[in-house]
Structure formats: C-alpha cells, structure tokens
C-alpha cells in the first residue's frame, strides 16, 4: 500500500466521520425509518418518502440479482438498509458492508442481521476471501476523489475502484452504482460551503470520468439520471427536519441544524437546476482478459 493511498484513505475516513458521526438520533428525526441516506426513487405524486426509499432499495437489489445471490458486498453501507434487506428479504447467506463511520458500524452490529458482516474499512484496503455475486455502492463514489485532484488523477482513482470490484465479482456478477455527479456545472464552480462544511475533502465525478474509468473493465447495462428524484428527496428531508427542529436542536445544537437545512436546500436547488445529477448505473464485467487497460483485445 503506497503512502499516497494511505493518505487518501485516512482523509476519506476523517471526512466521513465529520458528516456521518453526528448523533444517529439526529438522522432518525428526518430520514425514513430504514435510515436510508441517499436518493429515493419517486414514481408518482402520491409517493411518500418511505415508499420511494423502499423502491430504491428494491431497485439495487434487483439490479444485482439478490434473489439468487449467495454473497453480496455493499460499499458505503450507511446504517445498513441494504444489508437488512439482503438478509431479511432475500436470505443472502453472506452480506458484507464497508463503512468508514464507527457509529454506523456499531449500529449495524447491534442489529445482528443473520449473515451480515460489517467492516470499518476503506475499499482500497479491503481484501475479501471470496468473490461476490453482486456489489452495491450507493453514495460512496462521490467521496473517492478530492477537490485538488486533476481529472487524470480522478480517473485513476475510479479505475482502481472498478478494477477491484471486477476482481471481487464472479464472472456473471453485477455492480449497481449510484452517485451524485457534476452536470451543467464546472467542478471549479462547486460550492465552498458544501465542500468545506458538509462533505470536506470530497469531489464529485463527471459522467465522462466514470465512463473513462470503467472502459475495458465494465459494460454499462443500464443508466438513468435521477436528479429530480434527488431534489424531491432533499426537499422531503428538509421538511421533516424543519418539523423536528426543536428536538434536533436539543440533540446537536442550532448551528448544526441550520447547517443541514442550508445544505439540503442548496442541494435540492442544484438538482432542480441541473447543475448536479444523480446517476444510477448497472455494470457487468467484461470477460477476464477481454481488454487490457490500453483498450486492446
């Protein structure tokens, strides 16, 4: 492991702790009951946040064929909503979650879901002892690069991620990836408040960077942009947090509540304006040896 990789991993861990190790009870006040902290899938005006989040979890499980999977890896598992579903609904024999948040890991371990293992470990350090039938990664990819990375460096980091996922998957496995991305906005226009106070030391990918990194490793089987879903999700979260302002303030203080409300409002606006997007990609591996990294057969 190089020192540069170790530095990147430690930086990512510190950034995750900064955001996600706020009191879990604070997040309970405004997330849905499954504590799913990522974009929902909304299909009609009657959807509640709970219904839309359930649909999103079902989408990712279906994308990797969870019904017949024996082993699944969740990279960036949060409070374990996907892991719980894999265990309870799909009876997956082994579901492994990676998180950089000790609080989230403790929360999942306390639930004691059958067949579930959670590790407080960066994907760059993870060394599995078996291959997986499916990999799910929701909302982690935007934490892999740093604001001072050049496009070439970002692509190298993303390529490393895709190559590792390819190594970990069975030949007929699938990767279901969900990530925020830059859309009609140059990375240099990224909001300093979001980058410094909400998700420090993190930078979004562009769609071009993702596809460049995946070339020769994965085939894109499905692609959608759920930016309006995410605008609606952020608006739902903000409305819930406003309703629970008094309880939230008692838990974490008024400054933290105001900071989160500002972040949710700005994020919703960015998605509605098309400045940022929400990509859902289902990727399947090319045959081993199908391409080398130079793109030749």
Predicted pLDDT at 202: 79
In this prediction, residue 287 has a pLDDT band, given cuts at 50, 70 and 90, of: confident
- Separation of alpha carbons 4 and 281, rounded Å: 29
DSSP state at residue 144: S
Work out the mean pLDDT of the chain and round it to a whole number: 89
Residue 144, in any domain of the structure: yes
Look at residue 23 in the predicted model and tell me its pLDDT: 84
Write down the pLDDT at residue 7: 54
Residue 178 lies in a domain: yes
Q: Is residue 244 part of a domain?
A: no
pLDDT value for 211? 97
The pLDDT of residue 148 is 87
Q: What pLDDT was estimated at residue 197?
A: 61
What's this model's pTM, rounded to 2 decimal places?
0.88
pLDDT for the residue 296: 36
Secondary structure (DSSP) of 89-128: TT--SEEEEEES-HHHHHHHHHH--TTEEEEE--TTT---
Q: Does 263 reside within a domain? A: no
Query: Quick check: is 111 in a domain?
Result: yes
What are the pLDDT digits (tens) for 57-88? 999 999 999 999 999 999 999 999 999 999 99
In the predicted model, is pLDDT for residue 122 greater than 50? Answer: yes
Q: For 32-64, how does the pLDDT look when each residue is reduced to its tens digit (9 = 90+)?
A: 999 999 999 999 999 999 999 999 999 999 999
Residue 170 lies in a domain: yes
Assess whether pLDDT exceeds 50 at residue 153.
Answer: yes
Residue 243 has pLDDT above 80, yes or no: yes
The yes-or-no verdict on residue 97 having pLDDT over 90 is yes
- Count up the domains in the chain and report the number: 1
Q: Residue 119 sits in a domain of what CATH number?
A: 3.40.50.150
Please say whether the beta carbons of 219 and 171 come within 8 A.
no
Domain that holds residue 86: 3-24+45-229+277-285
Q: Tens of pLDDT along 1-34?
A: 455 555 544 544 444 444 445 789 999 999 999 9
Instruction: State the average pLDDT over residues 116-138.
Output: 96
Laid out side by side, the sheet with 169-182 consists of 116-120, 94-99, 71-75, 132-138, 169-182, 276-285, 218-225
Task: Give the phi and the psi of residue 105 in degrees, each rounded to 5.
Answer: -60, -45
Residue 220 lies in a domain: yes
Asked whether residue 194 is assigned to any structural domain, the reply reads yes
- Give the CB-side neighbour count of residue 201, counting CA atoms within 13 A: 13
């Amino acid at each position: 492991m190089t020192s540069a990789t170790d530095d990147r991993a430690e930086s990512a861990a510190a950034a995750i702790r900064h955001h996600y190790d706020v009191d879990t009870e604070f997040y309970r006040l405004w997330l849905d009951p499954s504590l799913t902290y990522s974009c929902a899938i909304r299909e009609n005006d009657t959807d509640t946040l709970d219904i839309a989040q359930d649909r999103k979890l079902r989408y990712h499980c279906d994308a990797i064929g969870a019904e017949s999977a024996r082993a699944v890896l969740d990279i960036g598992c949060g409070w374990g909503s996907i892991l719980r579903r894999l265990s309870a609904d799909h009876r997956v024999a082994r579901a492994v979650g990676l998180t950089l948040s000790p609080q989230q890991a403790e929360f999942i371990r306390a639930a004691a879901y059958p067949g579930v293992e959670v590790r407080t470990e960066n994907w760059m350090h993870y060394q599995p002892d078996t291959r997986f039938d499916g990999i799910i990664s929701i909302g982690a990819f935007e934490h892999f690069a740093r604001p001072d990375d050049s496009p070439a460096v970002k692509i190298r980091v993303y390529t490393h991620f895709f190559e590792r996922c390819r190594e970990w998957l069975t030949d007929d496995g699938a990767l279901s990836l969900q990530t925020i991305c830059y859309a009609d906005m140059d990375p240099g226009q990224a909001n300093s408040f979001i980058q410094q106070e909400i998700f420090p030391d993190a930078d979004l990918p562009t769609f071009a960077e993702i596809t460049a990194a995946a070339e020769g490793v994965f085939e894109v089987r499905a692609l959608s942009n759920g930016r309006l879903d995410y605008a609606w999700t952020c608006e739902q979260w903000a409305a819930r947090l406003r309703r629970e302002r008094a309880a939230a303030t008692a838990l974490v203080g008024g400054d933290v509540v105001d900071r989160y409300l500002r972040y949710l409002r700005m994020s919703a606006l960015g998605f509605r304006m098309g400045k940022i997007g929400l990509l859902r990609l289902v990727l399947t591996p090319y045959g081993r040896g199908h391409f080398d990294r130079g793109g030749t057969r």
